[in-house]
Chain A
């Protein structure tokens, strides 16, 4: 964890939103998720494995995700995570609140610049 100081840790809830949003595109396994988020954010965001797997389990327990047996691109057995209807609903409310928060932060920062 200390070896990734250049990548900011995400605030609580943000990781979940990101996972949900990624899985909304298509079901993925854990490693694919990490790579996907890294690529889409142009390497700005790096998901910590130490946070990812507990977060996935938490989301499974909440019923936002389903895990199914599948194979990776290399044909090895793994678990593919898929968004449930409850997950989609949760994502939608979360996205609204994240957007509001960003807007708020942006305004505060704008004032501070003057």
Chain B
């Protein structure tokens, strides 16, 4: 920093020198005058004696200069002056760079915000997400990449571990809040003791939950999110202590969490104590997310080992009720599979983001080669000047430095504009990005991102500058001067370096186009998959939750749901209405459990787990899920509690060979449960998204005998999703009529998650379509840039060879042959680029394998089509300058020099 201070104190130093020297001469003059010489003569003599005042001043001043810096400053001024003189060149380069660097900055800010930044919790690297591996648990452990915790596990693990500071479990839920305006369905998180302690974010107002709040028989309390507090209470601090009705239960507000606080990756409105009743806990109930904070200095592996030790302890300490075998879970082979909380939050989006980052990085390389090409042409036009300077004694370093300074100045100026591009790009990206992109709110252009932009600008400046600097700086003066004499075509070597750049561009563009086309093919393949429902645009869905406290009798719940369905069916334009525990692709599995098919012996004595859903009559009709065999439920099946089920086609085939064979067969859940008759078979439904295989599903009636209670008890799902088929789905007037219909049955019931099935379906494709848009954009940019590159090289070659062409034409060359000569040279470059690119693409596409669906990473169609597209485009790009070459008038061409 010292030279920096010096730089600014220099002005004062110069002034000091000047004053000193002035006084020196003045004093000498007076001395001479004292000897009787006239003032004029004395002054002249004093100056003569002193010597060259300016030179001495300069010499003295030089002591304070940082010579390299000053001459760099001069070079910089010179570079900008020259850029101003060729605004077309400057604008092209700056725009290309701004788009390239801007795209990279945008994607980097997403990568930074999502993948690189630590989570917004204190010492977040100590936080772990508690998931278990259970290869023996079938779909129960599969569908969300691991087995969740049960409440009993939480008790055993949190009380007996040696490696964790704190631990808690939570589960997302919905609740209706009444008593504050219209009934509203809000997102709640039911959290156990330890969750807030683990995340360690203090409340913005009031307090955290205390252990007393977790007493199932104690006072009822609730905490608010910052957003809900502002929305509903206007940020009023006196809200602490107020009572609100949550699911018809009075709860006292004890605290408000601060702005931006999310429970891991979830936004919520209310936090409600889980208030587990320890006395009622069983081994089962694997439905809780777990988080914990490791003690300082303890690693994940030690935490895993600690909990692995406790799993047998857990089986010995709890049971699933009399007559059950607590060591049944040994067949599940449960082991801890803890991961860092960050990894949990990021999930699999990392792969997508890195691919997108690599893609825009490749685009940046193409941008650099393009700019390098332009700079080569520019240096070419200066090379007489440069060689004269070299001849006059300018060192290679000096010339190389000047060229580099110009390119770095271009790079940094492009970077400045790029920040503007990035601001716009970020908005666009957040808008089109997948809605499940985690940590979306944490994405911003922060210091790290701007540092990245600066580094990228400077580095790319060095990169594309060094190509022309290497080309021109070391050349011997004589060689350069000789190069432009009357020989036909200037310097083969220089043309060669441009050719290499074009080949590099073509091969990189090929890689990008291949990846874009693979994504397009993936998307098409996904769109072609039969999802198991029809015409999603005209299918309205919505959640309705009937809390215990509102209607306690399960039979009444089903009646209310039936009434709602009837009212909805009466809305004009509605063709069918049904409801179910869950609709496809909402990542909401109602239940997984064992199913025993009559007459079948299972390996190891335990049958595999199957996905359950609970459906009303006409649900399949509303969804457009085809009935393959048998019949649908009727309301009397449901109200009479007839032991009947419907199964999916793949389950029917697996169990009985065919769909039609399944009708009339029997299955049951536990060996002591009553048999259920299969009355129908429906087509397979891709409930976890079109890219995941359809699981075997058993559909139970919407009201049934609870299989988990010792004596038969009627149970009905209280959280259901309605499916309404209508041409008016999604319109404002329709939604209003839907709301009126629901409120006509019960005015305390709020609607939630009102979406058309199309929206849910698109959401499940969001990640793929996001990747597709990004790669397609990058591919299009790459194609355009490399075409500009090819066009530039060919037209430059034409302009350089004007004389040669003139001679050829004068000697009788055919115009067609001449045109072909130039097009052919473009095709040769493209061909070489394509061959290199194909090799690179074949190697790189394997990395994209996880993003593809239904096609091979070496998809022959893609690998055939892209080279053809590139070759055609290259031929077109070179045809224009080639035509110009053929149109040259030989007389003009020869006279030109």
Which B residues lie within 8 Å of A53 (CB)? 17, 20-21, 56-57, 59-60
A-contact bits for B104-138, CB 8 A (1 contact / 0 none): 00000000000000000000000000000000000
Q: Is the pair A1, B51 in contact by a Cβ cutoff of 8 Å?
A: yes
Q: Is the pair B24, A56 in contact by a Cβ cutoff of 8 Å?
A: no
B-contact bits for A12-39, CB 8 A (1 contact / 0 none): 0000000000000000011100100000
Count A-B pairs with CB separation below 8 Å: 69
Q: Is the pair B16, A79 in contact by a Cβ cutoff of 8 Å?
A: yes
**Chain A residue at minimum C-beta to C-beta distance from B55:** A50
The segment from B26-34, B73-81, B353-361, B639-647 that touches chain A is B26-34
Contact (A79, B20) CB under 8 Å given A49-B51, A57-B64: yes
Which B residues lie within 8 Å of A29 (CB)? 20, 23-24
Q: Is the pair A31, B28 in contact by a Cβ cutoff of 8 Å?
A: yes
Which A residues lie within 8 Å of B27 (CB)? 31, 72-74
Contact (A72, B23) CB under 8 Å given A57-B61, A61-B63, A61-B64: yes
How many residues of chain B have a CB within 8 Å of chain A?
Answer: 25
Which A residues lie within 8 Å of B16 (CB)? 67, 79
Instruction: Identify which of A3, A74, A77 contacts B19 (C-beta below 8 A).
Output: A77
- A22 and B61 CA atoms in complex are apart in Å by 23
Q: Is the pair A76, B26 in contact by a Cβ cutoff of 8 Å?
A: yes
Nearest Cβ distance between residue B4 and chain A, in whole angstroms?
Answer: 15
* B332 on the A face (CB < 8 A): no
Q: Is the pair B23, A76 in contact by a Cβ cutoff of 8 Å?
A: yes
Q: Is the pair A58, B63 in contact by a Cβ cutoff of 8 Å?
A: yes
- Which residue, B13, B19, B64, has most C-beta atoms of chain A within 10 A? B19
**Chain A residue at minimum C-beta to C-beta distance from B52:** A50
Q: Is the pair A54, B63 in contact by a Cβ cutoff of 8 Å?
A: yes
Which B residues lie within 8 Å of A31 (CB)? 23-24, 27-28
- A1 and B30 CA atoms in complex are apart in Å by 22
- Which residue, A53, A60, A79, has most C-beta atoms of chain B within 10 A? A53
* B62 on the A face (CB < 8 A): yes
Instruction: Identify which of A30, A49, A54, A58 contacts B23 (C-beta below 8 A).
Output: A30
Instruction: Identify which of B23, B30, B49, B60 contacts A56 (C-beta below 8 A).
Output: B60
Contact (A78, B63) CB under 8 Å given A31-B27, A54-B56, A57-B13: no
Nearest Cβ distance between residue B639 and chain A, in whole angstroms?
Answer: 100
Which A residues lie within 8 Å of B61 (CB)? 57
Q: Is the pair B19, A79 in contact by a Cβ cutoff of 8 Å?
A: yes
Which A residues lie within 8 Å of B62 (CB)? 54
Nearest Cβ distance between residue A92 and chain B, in whole angstroms?
Answer: 24
How many residues of chain A have a CB within 8 Å of chain B?
Answer: 24
Nearest Cβ distance between residue B61 and chain A, in whole angstroms?
Answer: 7
Which A residues lie within 8 Å of B20 (CB)? 29-30, 53, 56, 78-79
**Chain A residue at minimum C-beta to C-beta distance from B6:** A61
* B89 on the A face (CB < 8 A): no
Nearest Cβ distance between residue A80 and chain B, in whole angstroms?
Answer: 9
**Chain B residue at minimum C-beta to C-beta distance from A68:** B16
Nearest Cβ distance between residue A84 and chain B, in whole angstroms?
Answer: 16
- A1 and B51 CA atoms in complex are apart in Å by 8
- Which residue, A34, A54, A73, A76, has most C-beta atoms of chain B within 10 A? A54
- A60 and B60 CA atoms in complex are apart in Å by 11
Which B residues lie within 8 Å of A61 (CB)? 63-64
**Chain A residue at minimum C-beta to C-beta distance from B59:** A54
**Chain A residue at minimum C-beta to C-beta distance from B12:** A67
Which B residues lie within 8 Å of A49 (CB)? 21, 24, 49-51, 56
Nearest Cβ distance between residue A81 and chain B, in whole angstroms?
Answer: 9
**Chain A residue at minimum C-beta to C-beta distance from B13:** A57
Nearest Cβ distance between residue A39 and chain B, in whole angstroms?
Answer: 13
Q: Is the pair A77, B17 in contact by a Cβ cutoff of 8 Å?
A: no
- A72 and B59 CA atoms in complex are apart in Å by 24
- A76 and B55 CA atoms in complex are apart in Å by 23
- A30 and B27 CA atoms in complex are apart in Å by 10
- A78 and B24 CA atoms in complex are apart in Å by 9
**Chain A residue at minimum C-beta to C-beta distance from B63:** A57
- A1 and B21 CA atoms in complex are apart in Å by 17
Nearest Cβ distance between residue A55 and chain B, in whole angstroms?
Answer: 9
- A49 and B27 CA atoms in complex are apart in Å by 14
Q: Is the pair B56, A57 in contact by a Cβ cutoff of 8 Å?
A: no
Which A residues lie within 8 Å of B52 (CB)? 50
**Chain B residue at minimum C-beta to C-beta distance from A34:** B24
Which A residues lie within 8 Å of B26 (CB)? 72, 74, 76
Nearest Cβ distance between residue A100 and chain B, in whole angstroms?
Answer: 28
Nearest Cβ distance between residue B648 and chain A, in whole angstroms?
Answer: 87
- A114 and B686 CA atoms in complex are apart in Å by 115
Contact (A78, B23) CB under 8 Å given A1-B51, A49-B51: yes
Nearest Cβ distance between residue B288 and chain A, in whole angstroms?
Answer: 70
- A49 and B25 CA atoms in complex are apart in Å by 10
Within 8 A of A (CB), among B37-87: 49-52, 55-57, 59-64
- A8 and B688 CA atoms in complex are apart in Å by 97
- A76 and B64 CA atoms in complex are apart in Å by 25
- Which residue, B17, B20, B59, has most C-beta atoms of chain A within 10 A? B20
- Which residue, A31, A48, A58, A60, has most C-beta atoms of chain B within 10 A? A31
- A60 and B19 CA atoms in complex are apart in Å by 16
**Chain B residue at minimum C-beta to C-beta distance from A53:** B60
Within 8 A of B (CB), among A58-90: 58, 60-61, 67, 72-74, 76-79
Which A residues lie within 8 Å of B51 (CB)? 1, 48-50
**Chain A residue at minimum C-beta to C-beta distance from B28:** A31
Which A residues lie within 8 Å of B55 (CB)? 50
- A78 and B55 CA atoms in complex are apart in Å by 20
Which A residues lie within 8 Å of B23 (CB)? 29-31, 72, 76-78
- A61 and B55 CA atoms in complex are apart in Å by 19
Instruction: Identify which of B28, B49, B60 contacts A57 (C-beta below 8 A).
Output: B60
**Chain A residue at minimum C-beta to C-beta distance from B27:** A31
- A29 and B52 CA atoms in complex are apart in Å by 20
Hey, which bits of chain A sit against chain B, CB under 8 A?
A: 1, 3, 29-31, 34, 48-50, 53-54, 56-58, 60-61, 67, 72-74, 76-79
14 A-B pairs in the complex with CB atoms less than 8 angstroms apart = A3-B49, A31-B27, A34-B24, A48-B51, A50-B52, A53-B57, A54-B63, A57-B17, A57-B64, A61-B63, A61-B64, A72-B27, A74-B27, A76-B23
Instruction: List 8 A-B pairs, minimum CB-CB distance, nearest first.
Output: A78-B23, A57-B63, A53-B60, A31-B24, A31-B27, A54-B59, A57-B60, A79-B20
Hey, which bits of chain B sit against chain A, CB under 8 A?
A: 13, 16-17, 19-21, 23-24, 26-28, 30, 49-52, 55-57, 59-64
Question: A54-B63, A79-B20 known; 16 other A-B pairs, CB under 8 Å?
Answer: A1-B51, A30-B23, A30-B24, A48-B51, A50-B56, A53-B20, A54-B62, A57-B60, A57-B64, A58-B63, A60-B63, A72-B23, A74-B27, A77-B23, A78-B20, A79-B16
